[in-house]
Amino acid sequence: MSTERIEATYTAKDITVLEGLDPVRKRPGMYIGSTGSRGLHHLVYEVVDNSIDEALAGFCSKIVVQLLRDGGCRVADNGRGIPVGPIPGRKDRKPAVEVVLTTLHAGEKFGGKSYAVAGGLHGVGVSVVNALSRRLVVEVARDGAVWQQTFERGAPTSRLRRIKASAKSGTIVTFWPDPEVFTDTVDFKRDVLAERLQEQAFLVRGVELALVDEREDPPAKQMFKATGGLADFVRHLSKGKEALHSKAIHFEAKRESSEVEVAMQWNTGYAESIHTFANTINTHEGGMHEEGFKKALTNVINRYARSKALLKDKEENLIGEDIREGLTAIVAVKLADPQFEGQTKTKLGNTDMRSFVETTVNDQLMTWLEEHPGDAKRVLAKCLQAAKARMAARQARDLTRRKGLLDSTSLPGKLADCQLTDPAVCEIFIVEGDSAGGSAKQARERSYQAILPIRGKILNVEKARLHKTLENLEIQALISAIGTGIGEEFDATKARYGKIAILADADVDGAHIRTLLLTFFFRHMQQLIDAGAIYVAQPPLYRVKSDGKYIYVHDDRELEEFRKQNGQKKLDIQRFKGLAEMEAEQLWESAMNPETRVLKQVTLEDAVAADRMFSVLMGEDVEARREFIQQNAKEAFIDA
C-alpha cells in the first residue's frame, strides 16, 4: 500500500489518441497516474511490461533491470528487438523503433502480439517513458547488427545508427527520469521494484528477471525466477500462515487462444486472499475469471461435502464466504484480446473467461479432493466451522442490527457529525484519543467536517473472525458513522462522507493505530480504498516562527530543507509532542484546513504486496513479523 499527496487522477478513457508526445508532458498524470514516486516507478513497469510481452509471446527468457549510479534505469531483454526497418505503408520511412518511441500508442499498430499487455495505466507505451525522461537511449540487437538512437524529453537527438555487427537479438532501454516532471523525487526504490519483478516472475513461469542496484557498492543483485509458477506465488503469499495442506493445489488448462492457471492453499487464518491476473496485469477489480473461479469453488466444495455426507440432506449449502475463509488463491488467465473495465480499468470483461475458468476449476479441484482425502477432510472441516461461525455471527449481527448499531439510523454518541449531508462535500476525521478529538471538534469547519474520536488501539481485525470484529464497539461506531455497512452488505452509495481521513499522532503509537485502521479498511471496506476515499492526515511535527509568521513542518527532512532556505535567519522552533497538545487553531491550520493541510490519499498500488504486508504485520507468526520489520525497517511504516 502506498500513499501520496492528492493530485488529479484520470482514467484511461480520458486519454485521447494523439500522435505527438506534447500531451504527455503537459498532463503526465493522465498517462502514468501521478508524478510522485508511484508515477516514477510506473516508468520502469512500462518498459518491463514490453519485455514481458516478448516473454509471453515466447521470444524472451531474460530481463535485467539495472539502477544506475547516475540515477538512470536500464531495462535489457533478449527478445526479438524492436523492429528497426521502416513501417510498411508509412510514407516517412522512419525506422519502426523511432516511431515506437515518439508516437503514442504506436505499439498497437503493428507487431501482431499474441498476449499484448494493455490494461489500466499499463500499455501506454514506451513513448510515454521517453516523453517523461530527460534522456533516453534505445539499443536494439536485430537483423545482424546493434542499432542505437538517443532522445531528450521525447525528441530524437540522433538518427538511428548502426553501431556494430551482432548475431544477437534484444532490446535495451536506458532512461533518466525528468526532474522537471518528477518534482518530488527521481529516486527509484529497490524494494518497490523487487516486489513487482518478483510478481512478474511468478506469472511468467521460467522467465528470469534480475534486479541490479549499482547505486550500492558492491552492487546489490536479486534474481527472480519461479520454476513452480503460481504454486511458488501462493507459497510466497502464505508466508507466516499455517497451511491446512502441505502442497498448494495447482492446475492449468489451455484452449485455442487462451490459458488459465490456478494455485490455491487453505490456511488456519480468516482472511480471504484471492488475487486475479489477466496477461500478468493484476485485475484488482476482479471480473469474469474471478466470477468463474468463485462459482466453481462453491459448487465443488458443496458437491464434495454432500457426496461424503459431511452436509446432511436437510442442511443448507455452504456459502462462498465459508469456503473462502483462510484461502489464498491466484487465478491467472492469458487471452488474446483482454477487455479491461471498471473504475480503474482492472476488471476483466471477457465473458468466455467465466465459463472457461469455471469448467476448469470444477473438474480439477474435484479431482484434487478425490485424490487427497486427508487434506480434503481438513479443508472441509474448516469450511464447516466457518459456516457455524457465520450463523453465530448472523445472530450477533441481527442483534446489533436490531439495535441499529451498524447502520446509520443511530449514529454513535461520540460522533460530532457535520451539518451538511451531501457526501460529495462531507469529510470525517477519525481522531486518536478523546482529548485530540476534543481539539478537532473545536477546530473543524462544522458545516462539512465530522469528527469521530476513537479510544486507544482498535481491534486487530487480522486476528479475528467477522463476528468478533462486529462485537467491537470502536468498530461498530466506525461502521455506522461511515454508513456503508461491511462485507456482503457493503453498499458504497450509502457512504456518508466522500473523504475519510485518519488523524493520528506522528509517533510510533500513532503509526500503530493508523495501521490497525488501515487493516480494517483493507479487509472489510476495500472498495472505499479503491474509490480513493481513504486518506491519512499528516499532523505537523514542528511549528517554526520566521519573520513573524508561523509555518508548519511535517518531518525532519522538511525542517532541514527549511533551515537551508533560511540560512542566516534565526528560527523559533516548537516541537509538538502529539495532537492532544495542539491548540484548536493550530490543528485546523496544519491538519484540517483544505487550503493548508497535507492529506495523503491511500491507494492500493499493489494489492498483493498489501495483502502480504497486512497478514505478516498483523498476523500470528511472531518470527515472520520480526523478519518483515527488519527487512523493511528503512521504510517508514506504510509510506505514510
Closest approach, Cβ 122 to ligand 0RA, in A, equals 13
Cell of 474: 470502536
Which residue from 111, 423, 498, 532 is in contact with ligand 0RA, where contact means CB under 6 A? 111
Residue with cell string 538517443:
150
List the end-to-end C-alpha distance of the chain, in Å, as a whole number: 9
171 binds ligand 0RA (CB under 6 A): yes
Q: Does 285 bind ligand 0RA (CB under 6 A)?
A: no
Which residue out of 507, 560, 561, 583 is catalytically annotated?
Answer: 507
What whole-number distance in Å separates Cα of residue 281 and Cα of residue 214? 28
Binding of ligand 0RA by 83 (CB under 6 A): yes
Total binding residues toward ligand 0RA, as defined by CB under 6 A: 12
Q: Closer to ligand 0RA at the Cβ: 116 or 278? A: 116
105 touches ligand 0RA (CB under 6 A):
no
CB of 350 to ligand 0RA, least distance (A): 24
Question: What are the backbone angles phi and psi of residue 129, rounded to the nearest 5°?
Answer: -60, -40
313 is catalytic: no
Q: Please tell me the distance from the alpha carbon of residue 490 to that of residue 462, in angstroms, as a whole number.
A: 19
* Residue closer to ligand 0RA (CB basis): 77 or 291: 77
Query: What binding mask, one character per residue, do residues 31-70 give for ligand 0RA by CB under 6 A, x or -?
Result: -------------------xx--x----------------
User: How far, in Å, CA of 127 to CA of 589, rounded?
Assistant: 42
Q: Please count the other Cβ atoms lying within 10 Å of the Cβ belonging to residue 298.
A: 19
Report 122-141 residues binding ligand 0RA (CB under 6 A): 126
291 binds ligand 0RA (CB under 6 A): no
Which one of the listed residues 259, 272, 509, 555 is annotated catalytic?
Answer: 509
Which residue, 87 or 617, is less far from ligand 0RA as judged by CB? 87
The nearer residue to ligand 0RA, 100 or 475, going by C-beta atoms, is 100
CA–CA distance, 376 with 368 (Å, rounded to integer):
8
- Rounded distance, CA 358 to CA 329, Å? 15
Sign of the CA dihedral running 612, 613, 617, 618: negative
Bridge-partner residues for 550, per DSSP?
Answer: 545
Segment near ligand 0RA (CB under 6 A); pick from 77-85, 269-277, 359-367, 434-442: 77-85
Under a CB-based contact definition with an 8 Å cutoff, are residues 539 and 576 in contact? yes
Q: Which three cell numbers stand for residue 274?
A: 484471492
Catalytic residue selected from 432, 462, 589, 611: 432
**273: helix, strand or coil:** strand
Catalytic (active site) residue 322: no
Q: How far is the CB of 262 from ligand 0RA (least distance, A)?
A: 29
Min CB(573)–ligand 0RA separation in Å: 50
Q: How many Cβ atoms from other residues are within 10 Å of residue 11's Cβ?
A: 14
Residue with grid cell 467465466, as numbered in its chain = 354
Residue among 112 and 567 whose Cβ is closer to ligand 0RA: 112
Closest of 106, 223, 199 to residue 154, by C-alpha:
106
CB 504 within 8 A of CB 458: no
**Residue 453 contacts ligand 0RA per CB under 6 A:** no
Rounded to a whole number of angstroms, the minimum distance from the CB of residue 152 to ligand 0RA is 19
Q: Does 95 bind ligand 0RA (CB under 6 A)?
A: no
What minimum distance in Å lies between the beta carbon of 74 and ligand 0RA?
12
Question: Please, what is the minimum distance in Å from the beta carbon of residue 94 to ligand 0RA?
Answer: 14
Bridging pattern class, strands 427-432 and 499-503: parallel
What does the alpha-carbon distance between residue 376 and residue 244 come to, in Å, rounded to a whole number? 9
Q: Which residues contact 395 (CB under 8 A, 6 or more apart)?
A: none
The rounded distance, in Å, linking the Cα atoms of 528 and 484 is 9
505 is catalytic: yes
Residues 494-523 that bind ligand 0RA (CB under 6 A): none
Q: Is 22 a catalytic residue?
A: no
Q: Applying CB under 6 A, which of residues 80, 105, 189, 295 lies at the interface with ligand 0RA?
A: 80
Residue 150 beta carbon to ligand 0RA: minimum distance, rounded to whole angstroms: 16
Q: Which one among 28, 79, 437, 453 touches ligand 0RA, defined by CB under 6 A?
A: 79
Task: Give the whole-angstrom CA distance, residue 510 versus residue 485.
Answer: 26
Q: Is 82 in the site for ligand 0RA (CB under 6 A)?
A: yes
Q: How far is the CB of 230 from ligand 0RA (least distance, A)?
A: 24
By C-alpha distance, which of 318, 260, 313, 269 is closest to 290? 260
Spatial CA neighbour of 36 closest among 179, 156, 184: 184
**Active site positions, annotated:** 432, 505, 507, 509
Using CB under 6 A, list all residues that contact ligand 0RA.
50-51, 54, 77, 79-80, 82-83, 100, 111, 126, 171
